[in-house]
C-alpha cells in the first residue's frame, strides 16, 4: 500500500462520437498480446466517463488516500502504485488519428463533478493529464488550464 499522489486524466484515444464499453477496455488491456491485447493483469483505469456523462467504475477501490495492491491500475508506467486513473471516451478526431478534445457537454459536466469531488476529498493529490507524466497526447486537452477554468488551483 502506498500513499495516493496523483489523479491522472486519460482519453480512450478513440474517434469523436464513438462510445466505448468496459468490455472493450478490458479486452484492449488484459487480452493476450497474440489477440491484440496488452496482456496486462489489470485494466488501465479506475473509472470511465461515457459519452452521455455516465461514470462507470472499472476497478473497485476503497476510496481512501492510499493505493492498495488490489486497486492498482495500469494507466502510466512508473506511477501506477501512487495513482488513480480516470478516462473519457474519445480524444481523437473523426480521422481516427489526430488528438482532439472530444469531450461532450455531458462528459465535461461529469468530469468537472468527478474532479471537484476528488479534489475536495483529497486536496493534496495532484491532478494531471497522462501527457504530463509520459510522452503522449492523452488526454488531448491541457489539464492545468482546464483545472484553472473550473476553479481548481494546483
pLDDT at 2: 95
Let me know: does 22 contact 89? Beta carbons within 8 Å. Answer: no
pLDDT at 17: 97
pLDDT at 68: 94
* Cα distance between residue 95 and residue 122, in whole Å: 38
Torsion of CA 136, 29, 20, 6, to 10 degrees: -50
Closest CA to 8 of 113, 153, 111: 111
**Higher pLDDT residue, 153 or 87?**
87
Cβ atoms < 10 Å from Cβ of 70: 11
The three-point CA angle 46-21-7 to 5° equals 20
Q: Is the pLDDT of residue 154 over 90?
A: no
Establish whether the linkage from the previous residue to 17 is cis, with ω within 30° of 0: no
70-122: pLDDT as tens digits: 999 999 999 999 999 999 999 999 999 999 999 999 999 999 999 999 999 99
Question: Element (H or E) spanning 9, and its range?
Answer: strand 6-11
Binned at pLDDT 50, 70 and 90, residue 1 comes out as confident
Instruction: Quote the pTM value.
Output: 0.96
Binned at pLDDT 50, 70 and 90, residue 151 comes out as very high
Residue 143: φ, ψ to 5°: -65, -50
18-64: pLDDT as tens digits: 999 999 999 999 999 999 999 999 999 999 999 999 999 999 999 99
Closest CA to 111 of 59, 50, 66: 50
> Which residues on adjacent β-strands are paired with residue 92?
15, 99
| Structural domains of the chain, with CATH | 2-144 (3.40.80.10)
Amino acid at each position: 500500500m502506498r500513499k495516493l499522489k496523483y489523479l491522472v486524466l486519460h482519453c480512450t484515444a478513440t474517434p469523436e462520437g464513438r462510445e466505448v464499453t468496459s468490455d472493450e477496455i478490458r479486452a484492449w488491456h488484459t487480452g493476450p498480446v497474440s489477440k491484440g491485447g496488452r496482456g496486462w493483469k489489470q485494466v488501465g483505469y479506475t473509472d470511465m466517463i461515457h459519452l452521455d456523462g455516465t461514470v462507470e467504475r472499472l476497478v473497485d477501490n476503497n476510496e481512501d488516500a492510499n493505493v492498495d495492491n488490489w486497486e492498482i491500475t495500469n494507466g502510466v508506467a512508473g506511477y501506477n502504485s501512487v495513482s488513480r486513473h480516470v478516462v473519457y471516451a474519445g480524444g481523437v478526431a473523426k480521422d481516427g488519428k489526430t488528438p482532439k478534445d472530444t469531450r461532450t457537454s455531458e462528459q465535461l459536466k461529469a468530469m468537472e463533478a468527478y474532479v471537484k469531488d476528488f479534489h475536495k476529498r483529497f486536496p493534496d493529490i495532484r491532478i494531471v493529464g497522462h501527457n504530463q507524466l509520459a510522452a503522449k497526447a492523452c488526454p488531448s486537452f491541457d489539464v492545468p488550464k482546464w483545472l484553472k477554468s473550473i476553479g481548481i488551483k494546483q
